[in-house]
Structure 1
Amino acid sequence: MASSPTLSKFSLTLALLFFILLSSSYAKPPQSQAQRLIRSLNLFPNKPVNIIKGDDVDFVPGKIVEKKFSFLGDSGPSVEDLGHHAGYYSLPHSKAARMFYFFFESRNRKDDPVVIWLTGGPGCGSELALFYENGPFHFANNLSLIWNDFGWDQASNILFVDQPTGTGFSYSSDESDIRQDETGVSNDLYDFLQEFFKAHPDFVKNDFYITGESYAGHFIPAFASRINQANKQNQGIHINLKGFAMGNGLTNPGIQYPAYPDFALDNKIITNATYDEIQKIVPDCEQATKTCEAQGGQSCSTALDTCQNIFELILSDAKDINYYDIRKKCEGSLCYDFGKVEILLNQENVKSALGVGSDLQFISCSDTVHDALNEDWMKNWEVGIPSLLEDGIKVLVYAGEEDLICNWLGNSRWVHSMEWSGQKAFATSPTLTFVVDGVEAGSLNSYGPLSFLKVYEAGHLVPMDQPKAALQMLKSWMGGNLTKTE
């Protein structure tokens, strides 16, 4: 394995490129504190979507730009061969959408799996994960970059994508490209992958995995189903889908919302009196969610409002707890300081290095994209997973034990209640200890292609809180060795 030296010298362009913004863009609160916390899932949208009027943006059909970056003065071995890319692909079935991405080839083997990472929101770019969780680099205290020893590019060729359209640097000149359901989102992601593999035919035969967290618990099952369906129908380039992993995701709200009071009481976040009060309104949430599934449309917005009352009552007792990691206090509007210099990503030389038009602004989280998916929020996306399991697609649901927002308890409940041929065997499977370097790092249940892992000492952002365990989880799971203990 290559060593991980500090990247001490960079060209000005590259140094500016990797500053992430997330600190000063959260000024516009939604209707309630509960909505701010639940619906943001780490990243609260406040800026408009990237809709470029007219034909002012220079555009070449297909691939717009893809640049390979090298690091000046770095003493590490083969740095120039890491193949760092950033660029755009047009989406052929959209009106005018262009999707932005970063791509990092594996530090080890080119035949390592291709992994795509999707951040939630909905409407938030994947740069947070790239620089604070599982990307190749982290920020040093002086804002220079250092190697992330536990970046997922240690075991994969990894893509970070700004999606849905309008997120991050992704944009369109037609408002109809803003998606309102998972069908539109998954079709766009499928088109993106087709364009990517056309440009990178040498990766087509690699195993392919989908990963992500938070609202990606919606995105990922829909996306996996879209790929699987296309493969069966011999559409486009065959994508060698082997599995998908969802971390602290929102997948089945009808089960996960009622789990809030149980998790909160178990962790002494609420009083017994508050718990009893919440239990009186849980049936209303469950019924509203069923109506959403049956009728769709406005009934799903009503279900969201109804179920948010559960979280409002929890907040009344929770005070200053960090809802993404209950071991910590919430400091600042998002409970974390992800603040880097936002303005840098919108400087002309940075955008030029990325192949981004001068009239585009970086949007970390788009409230337009977020609001467009309002009626998707309470939909149950567990329903598409059983057929994927039956087709042998591996599914890993993992959750940091200290997260409240998308807690392990709610995720465990929907995983165990999911109806598929292996349901009973999964429910009776022994609970194994997930061990990393001789240390207990989690508890695991697994049967056939389905695994559920509760990660110890981690909150909502598992790769940030437990980077070594997260990388080992990825390696073991992709290698079929997750159930093996040391």
Structure 2
Amino acid sequence: MKLWALHGLALCLLFQSGLSQTVVKSLPGLPGDLPFHLETGYIGVGETEDVQLFYYFVKSERSPKDDPLVLWLTGGPGCSALSGLLYEIGPFTFNYENSTRDKPTLKLHEYSWTKVANIIFLDQPIGTGFSYANSWESYNVNDNVSAAESYEFLRKWLKLHPEFQNNPLYIAGDSYSGIIVPMVSLQVAEGNDADLKPKMNLEGYLLGNPVTNVNSDLNSRVPFAHLKAIISDELYESANTNCIGNYINVNESNAACVDDLKVVTECLENINTANILEPRCVTMIPKSTAGDTWDPSLINDNRTLLLLPKLESPRVWCRHYNYLYSYIWASDKAVQDALHIREGTIEKWVRCNETLSYTYTVKEVIDIHKELIKRGFRALIYSGDHDIVIPYVGTQAWINTLNLTISQDWHAWFVDGQIAGYATLYSYFPSLLTYATVKGGGHTAPEYKPKECFALINRWFDYYYV
């Protein structure tokens, strides 16, 4: 959008600044009235409320006044809250069998986490989903700004919804939100210490397939590939020796290491990094505009569908074909009217915005995890064990650096008599950290294993440790 147009838009939208919340009674593609409570709205953050953050709020289908309140931050950065809602843990998803290219239809999600929790799905940072700003300057975001704006949003949201101030509060998210969620959680704790109102009943946080330490997360891909028999014993042993266990930022003068990693790359080139059991799909991913050396496509490989495939009888099914429906549905004016989207505030809706002006200012949050645990908060970390984007072996490695006591060693957990994954329970009185893998899960786990992830979260909310 050109600068003159943005200034004109800012003038037109001045009357829309501030707060707006609307209960959505029905949605295009889903017959009848919604059988759950859905609220959408904007909350302005920053000194002038120039940034307008859009959210979806779904009340628990069980007991809204008793069940936990969850702030859900989808990863990216730049992936829409609607993506997490539609494809992971929300109350409705696409009915693929009855959908067409021109008319996607919806169905209720049997394993929605809203069956046991009140969930706020937030479009963050600015430029994500339907969130927008009235000035260009506000679109320049970094990790610290993203966390601060999410925290301010939560404070304002709770002031508007005082009936939820006493519910157990959890900050949650997946993928790149592994950086932001601990930061927001600590800001909530420090805000309570400073007696900021409203006081929040923070009980803990949960993360799926989380980015935590950029270097070690990426470095764990080679050991993971070996564990999953994607690369041979001989290649792994050679690379491990020649690269001295360091597979990223390799010195080009180390020819033996460079040669080994070229072979590793060849072994991985046809692997779907989100789930190594599914076919890789060729899509177009634009370059990031971030002025930092960290490339977000390393985390979200093949996630953005810009070159849309034909839906008519593709030879090989690809999960990315499912994402096409979200572009069609969310771009429909009838849908945007139903969601009460402010007209003209975004140029176009995308599932994951790769063109954010985003600077990666935080490289690791292990010390924040240590601080949160020291303060006594509960934590659940889970990993789809077929995800090579953020491999579970890297997540296990940083958890081990927390120096926690193992209360329950590595063991299988079950759903309907079948192994759903493996888990370890750690303690640091009075904190408890649960780490669980989800068998066959990808990046991220609920999209691939919704039933198992629902069982996991339901047990964890009820203090039943898997």
Fold in common (TM above 0.5): yes
| Structure 1 stretch displaced more, 188-197 or 91-100 | 91-100
**In structure 2, which of residues 50, 58, 63 is the aligned counterpart of residue 109 of structure 1?**
63
Q: What is residue 377 of structure 2 aligned with on the other side?
A: 393
Q: What is residue 300 of structure 1 aligned with on the other side?
A: none
CA distance in 2, matches of 1:461, 1:186: 21
Question: By how many angstroms is 1:55 displaced?
Answer: 2.0
Alpha-carbon deviations, 1:113-154, whole Å to 9, x = none? 111221111111121221111110121121322211110011
Question: By how many angstroms is 1:216 displaced?
Answer: 0.9
Q: Is the 8 A contact 1:132 1:138 kept in 2?
A: yes
Q: Is the 8 A contact 2:143 2:361 kept in 1?
A: no
Alpha-carbon deviations, 1:429-486, whole Å to 9, x = none? 4223212222221111112311110111211221122111111111111211124xxx
- Gaps in structure 2 of 5+ consecutive residues: 100-104, 251-257, 284-301, 303-317
**In structure 2, which of residues 166, 191, 195 is the aligned counterpart of residue 234 of structure 1?**
195
2:344 maps to 1:356 = no
The root-mean-square deviation of aligned C-alpha atoms, in Å, is 3.0
3-state DSSP class of the match of 1:165? coil
Question: By how many angstroms is 1:341 displaced?
Answer: 5.8
Q: What is residue 12 of structure 1 aligned with on the other side?
A: none
Q: What is residue 32 of structure 1 aligned with on the other side?
A: none
CA distance in 2, matches of 1:74, 1:162: 22
Q: Is the 8 A contact 1:271 1:317 kept in 2?
A: no
3-state DSSP class of the match of 1:217? helix
**In structure 2, which of residues 415, 419, 423 is the aligned counterpart of residue 440 of structure 1?**
419
Q: What is the TM-score with the length of structure 2 in the denominator?
A: 0.80
Q: What is residue 120 of structure 2 aligned with on the other side?
A: 159
3-state DSSP class of the match of 2:50? coil
Q: What is residue 332 of structure 1 aligned with on the other side?
A: 282
User: Which amino acid is the alignment partner of residue 359 of structure 2?
Assistant: L
2:136 maps to 1:168 = no
Q: Is the 8 A contact 2:125 2:141 kept in 1?
A: no
Q: Is the 8 A contact 1:169 1:363 kept in 2?
A: no
Question: By how many angstroms is 1:329 displaced?
Answer: 1.8
Q: What is residue 63 of structure 1 aligned with on the other side?
A: 19
CA distance in 2, matches of 1:94, 1:482: 44
3-state DSSP class of the match of 1:133? helix
Q: Is the 8 A contact 1:66 1:88 kept in 2?
A: no
2:55 maps to 1:133 = no
Alpha-carbon deviations, 1:386-409, whole Å to 9, x = none? 111111111111101111111111
1:168–1:386 distance in 2 versus 1, CA, 3 Å: same
1:279–1:322 distance in 2 versus 1, CA, 3 Å: farther
Identity of counterpart residues, as a percentage? 26
Q: What is the TM-score with the length of structure 1 in the denominator?
A: 0.77
Give the alignment of 1:17-416 within 5 angstroms. 52-53=6-7, 54-57=10-13, 59-70=15-26, 82-93=36-47, 96-111=50-65, 112-140=67-95, 141-143=97-99, 144-178=105-139, 180-272=141-233, 274-275=235-236, 276-277=238-239, 280-281=242-243, 314-333=264-283, 334=302, 336-337=319-320, 338-340=323-325, 342-359=327-344, 360=346, 361-369=348-356, 371-376=357-362, 379-416=363-400
1:121–1:72 distance in 2 versus 1, CA, 3 Å: closer
CA distance in 2, matches of 1:358, 1:312: 49
Question: By how many angstroms is 1:246 displaced?
Answer: 0.9
1:309–1:367 distance in 2 versus 1, CA, 3 Å: farther
CA distance in 1, matches of 2:48, 2:244: 40
3-state DSSP class of the match of 1:339? helix
CA distance in 2, matches of 1:318, 1:418: 31
